[in-house]
Amino acid sequence: MPSSDTQTLTDIDQLTIDTIRTLSMDAVEAAKSGHPGTPMALAPVAYTVWKDFLRYNPADSNWPNRDRFVLSCGHASMLLYSLIHLAGIKQGQPNSETNRLPAVTLDDIKKFRQLDSVCAGHPEHHLAVGVETTTGPLGQGCANSVGMAVASRWLGAKYNRPNNTLFDFDTYVVCSDGDLMEGVSSEAASLAGHLELSNLCWVYDDNKITIEGETDLAFSEDVGRRFEGFGWRIEYVEDANDTSALIRALQSFKEEEKKPTLIVVKSIIGFGAPSKAGSHSSHGAPLGQEEIQGAKKSYGWPTDEAFHVPSGVAEHFQNAISQRGEKAAASWRESYQSLASAEPDAAKEIECMLSGELPKGWEDAIPEFPTDTKGLASRVSSGKVLQSLSGSIPWFLGGSADLAPSTMTLIPDAGDFGPQNLQGRNFHFGIREHAMAAACNGMALCGLRPYAATFFVFFDYLKPSLRLSALGELGVIYVLTHDSIGLGEDGPTHQPIEHLASARAVPGLNVFRPADANEVAEAYKSSLKNSKRPAVMVLSRQNLPTLDRNNLGSANGVAKGGYILKEATNGKPECILIGTGSEIPLCLDAAQTLESHDIQTRVVSLPCWELFDEQDSDYREHVLPSKVSARVACEAASGFGWEKWLGNTGKFIGMNGFGASGPAKQLFQHFGITTEAIVTAARDLTGK
């Protein structure tokens, strides 16, 4: 970092900043959509962070101890793409074929927001190397960054040794008024302050502009004072173009040891354009050629050439970043080799974790549950599985939004993560479901395998972050308990009815509703094998019998999403009963009754629709033969979506409205979710 408190911009510095600005305005103009104003205004801020502070090696973009840069105001995506391009970030690992290829080319920028470009409208980390997380919904990047800062602290506590540091990376965030209005950022900031994450710095673009106009339409709070209340250090920079003041503020962040830092930076959106660019219109629309030419003229730029990168700009920027980044990356490799020599098992753990793999023999720790007619609530068996896996996968960790005793996610003897115990593996997220999920995304982006827990009815509170788990291909496991009217007396405010349908509608998400303890174990086994797909464990409050597998299908059928749990006596079913979770015992009882009336009945357990749908057509036809149209499904939830498995003639036994307050058994009777209802429906369908 610079040593002088009074550094002034050299000509090449200003030239580079203006290149970032002009690339951004030209790309938005070419796309005829986007947000040019914020990239133009924040170019000096982002440039200063990258050139003078960010520890990043463009030739090794996956270096584990790199500092993270998060553009939470994802609408300003061209700011990030310009930085990646000018910094010369490469696509692949050192010495690989892809390492010769730039992550973002000038042609990619020219195709900004187009179908075949890595420069999507909002940054997506799986599309472009150098994008650390998928942002767009405001506040998400802020909350992700808290998980990244947590991961740095946890990894450092776990693997650093005296005089040998492997993990101490910082996380820098650029955020906007919109980010800090969103509730998720407040949840996350509160958590960060409590955890004393002094390795976290948010740079707040206080430009007083949102899409509707000036922020005073709806926003008049003192943001700095709010963050002081959260336990943050506050720095103020009166002009985004004052790089000397920015450097002083960032140096203060580096010196802070107890608190996260918020740097409040005043900017003028679209700085440099002569008229309209100073208004909110440049926030979400191209400037137009007249405004662009005026802005370029004010920069002393060629006005008749789009996407102009002056000679020497890229070399200057790349040299500044690479000199610091290559030195730090080389030091890290030395530290890793030192650890590998002294503690080879620890080094192998790091390698395994960062590659998205799991330790050898991890599955052996998963318990097999004996037959038990009383059984266990699936939240209880889930807790037992979590405890077993915690011992075999050191980086499998997580916690709950204040509900650990109810979600059974507390791991004995694992310690509570906090400023006094950075190796703790029990996380207490507080009543902050949304920030919990977003922080877990940030942890997953750093190699950890996190789980997050709450009641299923609060799925809606964390859904936006869970959606980004799926979009970003992050293997977070969501432990969501109290899954139906079976939770009983708490009533309809706490009884999830439509939530299964909502979860199943999310692409790239596996939703498991296991029927007994062994299905729970198999659901975890299946989920952990895929580090790029999040999973939801939908678990019961009430006990579920642990099924006698000597007479039923093996629970390993969960890996295929659905399987024949009980075959018809003669192997030729006349009707099929399909269920999940707590309704499987009802289906089994109904099958017994139907068989006694000479109706050959198959029972199918369908705990994960998504995995079942991915099986080949032969397997799906084997489990649900198309010739058997007499089908009854039973689930204590909305029937939305069940028509896929029931066809046009099948019947659904479940909920058609909200629940009620009362004992669980009475509620199932009251709402007609019973063995008798299944039997009646099956007899009607078969005509017997």
User: What CATH number is given to the structural domain containing 601?
Assistant: 3.40.50.920
CA 66/CA 89 separation, integer angstroms: 13
pLDDT tens digits, 511-521: 999 999 999 99
Indicate which CATH number applies to the domain containing 377: 3.40.50.970
Distance of CA 53 to the CA centre of its chain: 27
pLDDT tens digits, 124-145: 999 999 999 999 999 999 999 9
**Which whole-number Å values give the CA distances from 676 to 12, 263, 589, 669, 673, in the listed order?**
80, 64, 9, 10, 8
The residues that bridge with 202 in the sheet, in sequence order, are: 173, 262
Tell me, yes or no, whether 529 and 587 share the same domain: no
Domain count, the chain: 3
This prediction's pTM: 0.95
Q: How big is the chain by its Cα radius of gyration, in Å?
A: 28
Q: What is the pLDDT of residue 232?
A: 98
Q: What is the pLDDT of residue 213?
A: 76
**Which whole-number Å values give the CA distances from 620 to 561, 584, 614, in the listed order?**
10, 19, 9
pLDDT tens digits, 626-643: 999 999 999 999 999 999
**pLDDT band, very low/low/confident/very high, at 96 (cuts 50, 70, 90):** confident
Tell me, yes or no, whether 303 and 449 share the same domain: no
DSSP-derived 3-state class of residue 477? strand
Region 158-175: what's the mean pLDDT? Answer: 97
Structural domain span for residue 39: 11-330
- pLDDT of residue 50 exceeding 60, the answer is yes
Check the CA dihedral 289-135-458-229 and report its sign.
negative
Q: What is the pLDDT of residue 281?
A: 39
- pLDDT of residue 273 exceeding 50, the answer is no
- pLDDT of residue 215 exceeding 80, the answer is no
Tell me, yes or no, whether 401 and 525 share the same domain: yes
Of the candidate ranges 214-223, 297-306, 379-388, 506-515, the one whose mean pLDDT is the lowest: 214-223
**pLDDT band, very low/low/confident/very high, at 255 (cuts 50, 70, 90):** very high
**Measured torsion, CA atoms of residues 360, 365, 368, 372, in degrees rounded to the nearest 10:** -160
Of 524, 545, 566, the one marking the end of a domain is 545
Residue 341 lies in a domain: no
Region 260-270: what's the mean pLDDT? Answer: 90
CA 682/CA 688 separation, integer angstroms: 8
| 70 vs 210, more confident | 70
pLDDT tens digits, 307-321: 999 999 999 999 999
**pLDDT band, very low/low/confident/very high, at 209 (cuts 50, 70, 90):** confident
Tell me, yes or no, whether 110 and 64 share the same domain: yes
Of 312, 330, 348, the one marking the end of a domain is 330
Amino acid at 579: G
- pLDDT of residue 538 exceeding 90, the answer is yes
The residues that bridge with 265 in the sheet, in sequence order, are: 205, 237
Question: What is 241-297 written as a DSSP string?
Answer: T-HHHHHHHHHHHHH-SSS-EEEEEE--TTTTSSSGGGSGGGGSS---HHHHHHHHH
- pLDDT of residue 275 exceeding 60, the answer is no
Phi, psi of 444, rounded to the nearest 5 degrees: -65, -35
Q: What is the pLDDT of residue 617?
A: 98
- pLDDT of residue 284 exceeding 90, the answer is no
- pLDDT of residue 468 exceeding 50, the answer is yes
CA 547/CA 49 separation, integer angstroms: 58
Residue 614 lies in a domain: yes
Tell me, yes or no, whether 213 and 172 share the same domain: yes
Of 545, 576, 608, the one marking the end of a domain is 545
Judge whether 86 and 52 are in contact, CB under 8 Å: no
Region 547-571: what's the mean pLDDT? Answer: 97
Tell me, yes or no, whether 570 and 539 share the same domain: no
Residue 6 lies in a domain: no
**Two tokens, residue 82:** 């310009």
Q: Which of 433, 519, 522, 610 is catalytic?
A: 433
**Two tokens, residue 214:** 């000036």
Tell me, yes or no, whether 529 and 568 share the same domain: no
Tell me, yes or no, whether 286 and 378 share the same domain: no
**pLDDT band, very low/low/confident/very high, at 279 (cuts 50, 70, 90):** very low
Q: What is the pLDDT of residue 271?
A: 55
Residue 356 lies in a domain: no
- pLDDT of residue 368 exceeding 50, the answer is yes
Tell me, yes or no, whether 496 and 561 share the same domain: no
Residue 209 lies in a domain: yes
- pLDDT of residue 7 exceeding 70, the answer is no
Non-local (6+) Cβ contacts of 476 within 8 A are 437, 440, 441, 444, 450, 451, 452, 466, 469, 534, 535
CA 287/CA 446 separation, integer angstroms: 38
Q: What is the pLDDT of residue 283?
A: 54
Q: What is the pLDDT of residue 219?
A: 85
Judge whether 152 and 110 are in contact, CB under 8 Å: no
Residue 336 lies in a domain: no
- pLDDT of residue 260 exceeding 80, the answer is yes
Q: What is the pLDDT of residue 95?
A: 84
Tell me, yes or no, whether 193 and 238 share the same domain: yes
Residue 147 lies in a domain: yes
Residue 4 lies in a domain: no
DSSP-derived 3-state class of residue 307? coil
Look up 433 and say whether it is catalytic: yes
Q: What is the pLDDT of residue 277?
A: 37
Tell me, yes or no, whether 51 and 165 share the same domain: yes
Tell me, yes or no, whether 78 and 135 share the same domain: yes
**pLDDT band, very low/low/confident/very high, at 503 (cuts 50, 70, 90):** very high
**Two tokens, residue 95:** 């010495």
Percent of the chain with pLDDT over 70: 97
Region 223-229: what's the mean pLDDT? Answer: 97
Mean pLDDT for the chain overall = 94
Residue appearing with tokens 């069940």 = 642
